[in-house]
Structure 1
Amino acid sequence: MKRLIFVVFLLLPYQGFATELDRIVHSIEAEWASIYFSSKIRNKENAYTCLLDRTKELANQIPDSPELMFWQATIIASRAEHQNPIEALAAIHKAQDLLLKTISIKPDTLEGSALITLGSLYYQAPGWPIAFGDDKKAEQYLKKGLQINPKGIESNFYYGQYLLNKDRPEQAIEYFKTALKGPIREEQKFADSSLKEKIKMIISKTALGSETKKKHIASL
């Protein structure tokens, strides 16, 4: 199973390339989601590394595929959450480079996912001189992603997360609600459904926090 995706790709007829590449990309996303949303995987760093190795093998065969560049960046950034600070810092810089290259080739890759992910990196990364964190760039990229996919689950979720991070909970909830209305993709039911469940929990906690804050202010 370890090299299944790679082997299948090598056997593809040229005329079926686009369709089969789409299927492979969906397969990578499905496996990423199974790692990201799972609470049962003990060593997520290792799981992400295995997935990254397979994705790199595919990318070596199609070096200019923006979709595979995007997924390399996403896996690297996800793995960084489970690495030590030095490794994580190097990882987010690598992810940034891949996302910028992806956008330079095809800005609307995977319905603006590269723009959205890069925007998320910009507001979560430390600022200069440690890293490249930049709130202004973060919002610019997130909004560009929203323009491409205004009703998408991920585009609204990540912009909502940005607003929440900037202490704008009321605005954030509106984007979270829009995300919940987004269509669940047939080929990615688990990923989209899992993200919607996460959004529901965030809305609940955010609404509760806002109400508590209002009551505290009113009591002063």
Structure 2
Amino acid sequence: MKSIISVAMSSVLLLSSAQAVAQSKLADIQQRWAEVNYTLQDDAQSKGFQSLAEEAQAWVNSEPNNAAAHIWLGIIKSTEAGAVGGLGALGLAKEAKASLEKALEIEPDALSGSAYASLGTLYYKVPGWPFGFGDDDEAEKLLKKALEINPNGIDSNYFYADFLYEQGNYKQALSFAQHALAAPARPERPLADAERREEIHALIKKVNKRLSKR
């Protein structure tokens, strides 16, 4: 009996240790992504994204069934695509799409539905056929799924608000942007929250400008 209990306890301790390591990797990548995305520019930012993508890929290779690892590899590549722009961005966007789709296969609700939000954003940012895979209908479906999972999240509401703005649905865009501003703070991600709120304020300003012309 004692040996059985000992084995069980060892298994629990090993599981807890693995979870702690995964959480540490996640926190480190989230923090460094915010620094690269919001504080670096030009060549420094490009090198930062490439380094971060390599680290995220190594995480995926070591934990292929970890949805969070695939999500963050997708997020890094998608934001790098946005920074690069032009034809060079499309390859990165396709790689990001594949990573996010893999995350959905493994654990759809991982990280509060972040894969849905990020993939939905890709679908409305990337050009449609014949140049890319962009699809506004698919984007809306994915963004709504992200909101279903995380109705009060800052990112899920901001991305949907931005999509609605791009669609010319300004009143609804304003509503979701305001809801994004009211989202609870994420103590572990202060820089990302602060910068996202700046983006939300900028979006609200654009929406109000459009509404004032009606």
TM-score by length of 1: 0.86
**CA deviation after TM superposition for structure 1 residue 198, in Å:** 1.6
Structure 2: which 5+ runs fail to align?
Answer: 1-12
SS of residue in 1 equivalent to 2:140: helix
CA contact (8 A) 2:117 2:142 kept: yes
Say which is worse superposed, 198-207 or 69-78, in terms of deviation. Answer: 198-207
Aligned to 2:92: 91
Identity across the alignment (%): 32
The aligned counterpart of 1:41 is 41
Please give the per-residue CA displacement for 1:59-86, whole angstroms capped at 9, x wherever unaligned.
2111121101111111111111233633
SS in 2 for 1:37: helix
Length-normalised TM-score, structure 2: 0.88
Decide whether the 8 Å contact of 2:170 with 2:210 is kept in 1.
no
For 1:141 and 1:192, the matched residues in 2 are separated by 22
| Separation in structure 2 between the aligned mates of residue 162 and residue 194 of structure 1, nearest angstrom | 19
Matches within 5 A, 1:20-99: 20-38=21-39, 40-43=40-43, 44-83=45-84, 85-99=86-100
The residue identity in structure 1 corresponding to 2:150 is N
Is the contact made by 2:26 and 2:68 (CA closer than 8 Å) also made in structure 1?
Answer: yes
Indicate the residue corresponding to 1:7 in structure 2.
Answer: none
2:172 corresponding residue in structure 1: 171
**Residue 14 (structure 1) shift:** 5.0
After superposition, the Cα gap between the structure-2 partners of 1:186 and 1:121, relative to the gap in structure 1 and judged at 3 Å, is same
Which blocks of at least 5 consecutive residues in structure 1 are unaligned? Answer: 1-11, 215-220
- Range 128-137 or range 76-85, more displaced: 76-85
Shift of the 150–84 alpha-carbon distance from structure 1 to 2, 3 Å rule, reads closer
**In structure 2, C-alpha distance between the alignment counterparts of 1:184 and 1:117, rounded to whole Å:** 19
Q: What is the rounded CA distance, in whole Å, between the counterparts of 1:14 and 1:104 in structure 2?
A: 22
CA RMSD of aligned residues (A): 1.6
Q: How many pairs does the alignment contain?
A: 201
For residue 158 of structure 2, what is the amino acid of its counterpart? Answer: F
Q: Who is 2:4 aligned against?
A: none
Q: Which residue of 2 aligns with 1:218?
A: none
What residue in structure 1 maps to residue 191 of structure 2? 190
- Measured in 2, the distance between the counterparts of 1:15 and 1:35 equals 30
Q: CA deviation at 1:169?
A: 1.1
Q: In terms of mean alpha carbon deviation, does 153-162 or 73-82 score higher? A: 73-82
